[in-house]
Amino acid sequence: METIQEGGGLVRSVAWAPGGQRGYELIATGSKTGVVRIFRLEEAGEGIEVGGGAWKSVSVMEQYQGCAGNEVQRVEWNALGTLLSSSGDDGRVRLWKEDHFGRWKPYFIASAEQVPAEETTSEDGMYH
């Protein structure tokens, strides 16, 4: 068994990305402390037993304070495993997308309220 949520608080949601054609797997977690994490599991003939498979490494690809101290209630991948959504107690839905450098970034924020200035787009057009 592998512990993958050290220091991120109680996990409220876990989602395994579909589309195992990458040569590695992606798992997203959302926690009570508002942290969204994306893990990369690399396949190997021997190694860590996760979900019936053998993995040579489990690494945190990205970690974000997704809901500014509010609980993340749900994380979910799209059908291809290329877009992650998260929602939480702050009333916002965030979409996360991998950029061309392989980094997962907040891509879009939907809210019934006005989005605060600190969550507007940056120079590269991505939300932060």
Residue 105, domain extent? 11-119
Indicate whether 127 belongs to any domain. no
Cα–Cα–Cα angle for 76, 81, 84, rounded to 5 degrees: 40
- CA pair distance 1, 4, nearest whole angstrom: 10
Indicate whether 56 belongs to any domain. yes
Average pLDDT over all residues of the chain: 75
pLDDT band at 51 (very low <50, low <70, confident <90, very high): low
pLDDT digits (tens, 9 = 90+) for 88-101: 888 889 999 988 88
pLDDT band at 22 (very low <50, low <70, confident <90, very high): confident
pTM over 0.85: no
The token pair at 100 is 């061309």
Three-class secondary structure of residue 21 per DSSP: helix
Indicate whether 125 belongs to any domain. no
- CA pair distance 126, 106, nearest whole angstrom: 6
Indicate whether 102 belongs to any domain. yes
Stretch 17-42: mean pLDDT? 83
Indicate whether 110 belongs to any domain. yes
Q: Total domain count for the chain? A: 1
Q: What CATH number did the domain enclosing 56 receive?
A: 2.130.10.10
- CA pair distance 68, 82, nearest whole angstrom: 24
